[in-house]
Structure 1
Amino acid sequence: MNKEQLIALFNKEQRIDQTIAGFRREEEGGMIRQVSLTGGEGYVTYSALTNETVQHAINEQLSYFEQLDQRFEWKLYDYDQPANLKDKLLEHGFTIGDPEGLLVMQLTEGDFMLSCEIPSSIIRITDEAGINDIVSLEEEIWGESHRELGEELIRNLKNDPDSLFIYAAYEDGKAVSAAWMYLHDGTSFGSLWGGSTLSEYRNKGLYTSLLAVRAQAAWENGFRLLTVDASPMSLPILKKRGFDLLAYSYPCVSPSKEERKEIAFE
């Protein structure tokens, strides 16, 4: 598949038709939103808007989620229309996060990832204790709480264990690197997450090994496309390993009620 075909497939399977455990999918006026059923934040995963409809659509989503007392993230891709959508969201008080590269890899027989030997230090996590090890790892690396991530992984592993593949590399009984993958049933895609490594264990091949073990699990389960939102740090590594850059995405987080009031009085 070429770039345009991959984007079209990604839009359909990962943005438009996507169902997420713990969320209610709703479609309205060219919008696809995911409403959290567990008290977390919601998402706008897809929009097909015009210069004439964008203003109303943004106000509609803000009002709708405010009624639910739920913050939400509008996941914007640089090919989304209208071209000034990011500016419009900014005008309405959204916080625009740093861009992330949308990368896709098409797995084929003979790929390096599928033949890469996985070190014995990397194991699949299947219980709450292992997830707690990962939370401790993430908190040590980033210096902030990752409690919600732990709760999400525990919940998803319990509700749908066959679609979530969590891996960690251990040294002396301690998790030093970790990553996970969701296999999206009914689609062609596995999505990759995590990949954090303690500084003293970097440049030892753990990141590549965690990529490979997930690629092999995806292949064994019949999935041929891997997708990841890549930071500037990981993007060149992923491209070197066979991923193609399709676009850039921006996490756009809705303003709070108080922030909306301040905007209204400006």
Structure 2
Amino acid sequence: MDNAAVLALFDRDMREGARPDGPGARVERVGAVVRRTAPGHGWNGILWSALTAADADAVIAEQIAYFTELGRKFEWKLYGHDLPADLGQRLVAAGFTPEPEETLMAGESAALTLGAGPPEGVRLVPVTDRAGVDLVAGVHERAFGADASWLRGQLLDQLADFPGTVVAVLALAGDEPVSAARLEMAPGARFAGLWGGGTVPGRRGRGIYRALVAHRARVAADRGYRYLQVDASDRSRPILERLGFTPLTTTTPYLYAPVR
């Protein structure tokens, strides 16, 4: 895989050329940025930018003013190759809080190693209704130690209004939910995204996450997506590399909460 070419394609498809992919979502290019706004539980933030040292601070201030007027928290999703090189420092100076850095990884669906099934005693089941969504949210809270009310609302909205854009799956050990993950598929894009793969403490290191990756990869390939992409933590990166994913760059969420 030509990593530089795939990264450039990712920038064009999923960032600069992003499409609305959820209930009420709007994607618009405003000057040197592409931003997404969405009501309710939807994600709000900056997907792409083409800034210089001369205009970066002014553009950052414009976006803060825009989202503050809407009364919404938002994220500036910064990638390692974005310019200017000190954009992260500028965001912090403007009041953003950085989250942990992750690695943007990608792989060609046809070239990935997808033979992994779940370990003995674990089965994968699709999520199609509110009861399943509640189980996914519960796994997320146990796996990541964070509130998942936003995920519950987002998944319910997607399954109701945009069912073709998301596949959610649970891993059950007996009747106990032990892991969960999502596959998001933007219409017309060449990349499908792997999100939320989390396994509860006490069940990690047994191949459940790997099986969820392989399952979603097969679904994406069957639906014609050439590439898979994932923002990988340090814990998941080695597993993804063994499956055939390649690191492309880093990505860091910078979060801004308007002062009320």
Indicate whether the TM-score tops 0.5. yes
| 1:93 partner SS | coil
Aligned to 1:200: 202
Aligned to 1:112: 113
Aligned to 1:262: none
1:81-115, CA deviations, whole angstroms, 9 ceiling, x for partnerless residues?
11111111111111011101000011226x421x4
| 2:6 partner SS | helix
2:198 and 2:85 mapped to 1: Cα distance?
33
Aligned to 1:158: 160
| 1:121 partner SS | strand
Give the AA of the match of 2:245: F
1:158-185, CA deviations, whole angstroms, 9 ceiling, x for partnerless residues?
1111221111111221211111101121
Q: So what's the TM-score if we normalise by structure 1?
A: 0.91
| Structure 1 residues 40 and 124, CA gap change in structure 2 (3 angstroms) | closer
| 1:57 partner SS | helix
Q: Does 1:14 align with 2:18?
A: no
Residue 141 of structure 1 and its aligned partner are, at CA, apart by 2.8
Residue 133 of structure 1 and its aligned partner are, at CA, apart by 0.9
1:102/1:230 contact within 8 Å kept: yes
1:39 and 1:123 mapped to 2: Cα distance?
25
Residue 41 of structure 1 and its aligned partner are, at CA, apart by 5.2
Aligned residues: 256
1:131 and 1:152 mapped to 2: Cα distance?
10
2:43 and 2:63 mapped to 1: Cα distance?
13
2:144 and 2:82 mapped to 1: Cα distance?
31
Residue 143 of structure 1 and its aligned partner are, at CA, apart by 3.4
1:100-144, CA deviations, whole angstroms, 9 ceiling, x for partnerless residues?
1000011226x421x444567111111111111111122223333
Question: Structure 1: which 5+ residue stretches go unaligned?
Answer: 259-266
- Higher Rg of the two aligned structures: 1
Aligned to 2:141: 139
| Structure 1 residues 205 and 40, CA gap change in structure 2 (3 angstroms) | closer
1:41/1:70 contact within 8 Å kept: no
Alignment partner for residue 38 of structure 2, among 30, 36, 39? 36
1:192 and 1:98 mapped to 2: Cα distance?
18
Q: Does 1:68 align with 2:70?
A: yes
- Aligned pairs for 1:117-136 within 5 A: 117=117, 121-136=123-138
Aligned to 1:229: 231
2:118/2:207 contact within 8 Å kept: no
Q: Does 1:182 align with 2:181?
A: no
Question: Structure 2: which 5+ residue stretches go unaligned?
Answer: none
1:138-160, CA deviations, whole angstroms, 9 ceiling, x for partnerless residues?
22233332111111111111111
1:177 and 1:41 mapped to 2: Cα distance?
23
Aligned to 1:97: 99
